Amino acid sequence: MTKTLVIAEKPSVAQDIVRALTPVAGKFEKHEDHFENDRYVVTSAVGHLVEIQAPEQFDVKRGKWSFAHLPVIPPYFDLKPVDKTKTRLNAVVKQAKRKDVTDLINACDAGREGELIFRLIEQYAGGAKPLGKPVKRLWLQSMTPQAIRDGFDALRSEQQMAGLASAARSRSEADWLVGINGTRAMTAFNSRDGGFFLTTVGRVQTPTLSLVVEREEKIRKFVSRDYWEIHATFGAQAGEYPAKWFDPKWKKSEDVEARADRVWSAAEAQAIANAVRGKQATVTEESKPTTQASPLLFDLTSLQREANGKFGFSAKTTLALAQSLYERHKALTYPRTDSRALPEDYLPVAKQTFEMLADSGMRHLAPHALTALNNHYIRPSKRIFDNSKVSDHFAIIPTTQAPSGLSEAEQKLYDLVVRRFMAVFFPSAEYTVTTRISIVAPHSFKTEGKVLVKPGWLAIYGKEAADEVEGGKDGDKGQNLVPVKPGEMVNTLAVDPKGLKTKPPARYSEATLLGAMESAGKQIDDDELREAMQEKGLGTPATRAAIIEGLLTEKYMLREGREIIPTAKAFQLMTLLRGLEVEELCRADLTGEWEFKLSQMEKGQLSREAFMAEIAAMTERMVKKAKEYDRDTIPGDYATLESPCPNCGGVVKENYRRYACVGRPADAGGSGEGCGFSFGKSPAGRTFETAEANALLATRKIGPLEGFRSKAGWPFTSEIVIKYDDEARNYKLEFDFGDDRKGEESGEIVEFEDASLGACPICGSEVHEHGSNYVCSRAVPTAAQPTPSCTFKSGKIILQQPVEREQMTKLLETGKTDLLDKFVSMRTRRAFKAHLAWDKEAGKVNFEFAPSKFPPRPGDATKKIATKSVGSGAMAQKISKSAATKKAPAAKTAAAKAPRKAAAGKAPSAALAAVIGAEPVARPEAVKKIWEYIKAHNLQDPKDKRTIVADDKLRAVFGKDSAGMFELAGLLGKHLGGEG
């Protein structure tokens, strides 16, 4: 009997498909990597299993970073397995090659990336010749069992998917061509003077970065100007009302800061105030009704923007939450969408969704759903149901399945989507807008009142949204106005010129950057207009979060609170690209045009060949510009450092590659020539910020700094010092790896200036910061104890993972840190997650990994990765082989594998049980639970994080209104059956 192979994108989707098909296709038998019954074999990828690469004869392995081997534009691409998922790829390919499997169904995510994942697996499985098995496409917008069954009843043909497949391959190949050639060319250019300065660029990431850099340049160049507003209070018979002076004859000009209500001199503002003070005014008034419709339904980008603005979620976090609500909980429809409308035949499903919400027991949502059903709000509307605005996917809305067991973050996002879904069906909010002009000849004052008459959709959001929408930010807007009778003269009770300053444009947050990417840099606030621009955006809704995260990872940008700030490395890259006139990599609107062309390709309106020829031509030009640039420096807007040259006291200025002394100016008695002192802006591939360069000159030392790379590409952390070189008779820059043992050997007394982080797990003394480590106060020479007697030391940066003070405090108190996710293996260079934990037996800090979701395979070696305490805070990995590969005495092996004995649990007191539950618990676990409670309820004092401000429950435990973090263990001991 022949069978059909179904390939999903993720294991969880494969399981959903099996559950949905079982009632109609029969029971499935579960195997290690697939499910099977009489009709179907169901397996899955785990994201991308295959990636493209240039064929070996067209790529050069040695010297690939030099211009000699650029550009690399192969006539076709080979495939290579993704290293970490080779086993899964082999399992999928094995099923695809089975003789009894005659047909394939692509059940990967509905979209460009899902199409690419499947196509590359199919191509790889075929090898030199095509696999040759017919393919159908399962196109799922929802993950409910019925939606999956409906999808199998309406499979799409190979021909229907041809355009999307072409666009998917073209996007992948274009990104490879621009990314590989651009990165190699810019790295080769920046490494001409020696060393290795990795300079990554990308078809989408670099124009995105240019948006952030251009905004920061405007902020830095902004010169604030003083201006004045004249605020007045008028008195009518019915009461008082505020107003603001304005010029009714004002028209827009080239001055972007000019406004109708601004004057530019204090004298003019005071003259206006003096002219009207104490006088009577005539009043004209116009009132008119106005309505405000709810915002459109969410697509992914608008959801990410809203969640960032309301909750501070990053775009990456929002996508992960939405994906979990779609895949795991089946509570939302497909999230990676750029559509904000629903199909025209979706009205019955919308009604069913409202019925589910009305009966769901979600008390904050159900009443609004019931109102919509009782008042027949769910009806056809072109604003909501429009096939012309639905392409691969429709808007993100709740499914007909009520969720349960949501995390707090998932619940927040689910509520956000549900409220938007309900709001779009509700009537518009109705206002009365009143504009009142009070005239004290010849001066006019304006007052605006906006009164909510019928809340309509705002009822779903409550008072908070009503206040927000009513526009009450200014003192003369959004209020109920006291009435003025026709013909009544009002008195000018008070008038006050208010001095203000113009402000620079705001830095991007993730919300505003996503909006700028969506419109390819064109700032559009109107939802409808932005929707029309979406096809010309930077990236796609599904990729924008990853682009932002990639720029943060490469240290081109930093997050500070909700602001995104470009680094010196970003400015240097933009200076280079502008100087080389490689505008294709800088212009957001041009890359937006490419995205538009990919969209045309999906619809069959543009050929793949024409698009790729354009990309190849752009790539050749980009490499040629970098290769042939022959001037000494790149023109740019460079800084002058505040700190003087350490050698001659002259002025130090920045150029493209270096900070160099240009000597003292002639008017200060200098020759105007430099003394030869200079240092590179990017030693070992890490670019100095201007403030860092200033600090380095001022103190001759800075760090430890992370982000350096060796010539072999290995990351490292170091301090930087400026030392005098007798041979060169000048100062030069050097790395100083901050070996803290120098102090121990020389006997130099250490004085700690920071507060203690907690008790040393070896001797109980205080632990402090010292150089690049956290050390026990008895591990270094101090005035109290000149001879060290303890060995506790742990790095502040371990395998590229910064260990913050808060985490070391937690380790000292509870035995381990939170799960940290930025470790990078020295062997594989892959990122991994782990806790840092105190290993009493080893007498050092070790890794502790979260339990695997998958059972170990038979014969797997047991691995243990341990820290090595060294001065620079680096960490060595030690992998102890299992008994199967290394002979050892049986007793010793057993002892090594024996788990550490857990501390016996004690029953908590009633007061403590009210906080952590009544289960018996050991003190370290109790401390951990208390900390979770403190964090969840935000009980740390904002001015001193080490102080816990007790709520009613904790007050019963502490016996007082507050407690220090170091008191917790002692306080809890009294509540654990006398333990402690």
**Active-site residues: which are they?**
334
Distance CA(706)–CA(234), nearest Å, equals: 61
* Residue type present at position 706: E
Identify which of 964, 937, 967, 932 has the alpha carbon closest to the alpha carbon of residue 948. Answer: 964
How many alpha carbons lie under 13 Å from residue 776 in its C-beta half-sphere? 20
Asked if 137 contacts 8 with a C-beta cutoff of 8 angstroms, the reply is no
- The contacts of residue 79 (CB under 8 Å, 6+ apart) are 50, 51, 52, 53, 120, 123, 124
With residue 515 as reference, give the H or E element that holds it. Answer: helix 510-518
H runs (alpha helix) in 332-426: 347-358, 366-374, 408-423
Whole-Å CA distances, 212 to 118, 305, 507, 720, 969:
35, 16, 8, 29, 46
What b-and-e string marks burial along 229-259, b requiring 16 or more CB atoms within 10 Å of the CB?
Answer: bbbbbbbbeeeebbbbbbeeeeeeeeeeeee
Strand partners, 501: 226
Which residue in this structure is represented by tokens 């429809």? Answer: 333
Q: Regarding beta strands 658-663 and 797-798, do their DSSP bridges make them parallel or antiparallel, or are they unpaired? A: unpaired
Determine if the peptide bond prior to 704 is cis (ω within 30°). yes
Cα 441 off chain centre by: 55
Distance CA(420)–CA(299), nearest Å, equals: 11
Which residue in this structure is represented by tokens 């990078």? Answer: 824
Q: Regarding beta strands 3-8 and 101-107, do their DSSP bridges make them parallel or antiparallel, or are they unpaired? A: parallel
Distance CA(180)–CA(188), nearest Å, equals: 12
* End-to-end CA, the chain: 69
Asked if 447 contacts 248 with a C-beta cutoff of 8 angstroms, the reply is no
DSSP 529-589: HHHHHGGGSSS-HHHHHHHHHHHHHTTSEEEETTEEEE-HHHHHHHHHHHHTT-GGGT-HH
Asked if 261 contacts 305 with a C-beta cutoff of 8 angstroms, the reply is no
Q: Which two tokens stand for residue 660?
A: 């160099």
Helices 315-327 and 11-25 cross at an angle (nearest 10°) of 20
- The contacts of residue 629 (CB under 8 Å, 6+ apart) are 189, 579, 580
Q: Which two tokens stand for residue 706?
A: 């992370």
* Residue type present at position 728: A
Identify which of 794, 790, 832, 789 has the alpha carbon closest to the alpha carbon of residue 816. Answer: 794
Identify which of 285, 391, 399 has the alpha carbon closest to the alpha carbon of residue 333. Answer: 399
Residues in the chain, total: 980
Asked if 332 contacts 415 with a C-beta cutoff of 8 angstroms, the reply is no
H runs (alpha helix) in 191-260: 205-221
Order of strands across the sheet with 678-680? 651-654, 658-663, 678-680
Which residue in this structure is represented by tokens 């009164």? Answer: 451
Strand partners, 4: 40, 103
Which residue in this structure is represented by tokens 């591990």? Answer: 779
Look at the alpha carbons of 652, 654, 655, 656 in this order and tell me if their dihedral is positive or negative.
Answer: positive
